[in-house]
């Protein structure tokens, strides 16, 4: 299944911290036209795990369900994992 770049994707983001604390889950929505840093958060953390220096510390997760924005300020040295659960559109007929 292919989701167009302009299509809306719905994410549920959970962040695990050193010591066992958990942030989230946060509902977040991303589309080409509607901002939000949900994909950038995952990309930045992946780069950090591969040895890149952390460039960003502040991320905004837009939740269109409740019309709110979650602002996360993270030090990746304290993050042990990020789960990005994406709800895909169902294929009709079956």
* pLDDT band at 33; cut points 50, 70, 90: low
What's the whole-model pTM score? 0.80
Helices (H), 23-90: 38-49
Mean pLDDT of the 27-32 span: 80
CA distance 94 to 81: 36
pLDDT of residue 10: 87
Quick check: 59 and 37 in contact, CB under 8 A?
yes
Quick check: 11 and 38 in contact, CB under 8 A?
yes
Burial of residue 42 (CB within 10 Å: 0-12, 13-18, 19+) is middle
Per-domain residue ranges of the chain: 10-87
pLDDT of residue 59: 95
Residue 4: pLDDT over 50: no
């Amino acid at each position: 299944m292919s989701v167009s770049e302009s299509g809306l994707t719905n994410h549920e983001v959970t962040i695990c911290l050193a010591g066992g604390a958990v942030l989230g889950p946060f509902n977040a929505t991303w589309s080409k036209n509607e901002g939000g840093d949900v994909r950038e958060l995952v990309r930045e953390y992946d780069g950090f795990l591969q040895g890149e220096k952390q460039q960003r510390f502040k991320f905004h997760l837009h939740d269109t369900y409740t019309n709110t924005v979650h602002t996360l300020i993270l030090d990746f040295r304290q993050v042990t994992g990020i789960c990005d659960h994406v709800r895909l559109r169902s294929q009709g007929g079956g």
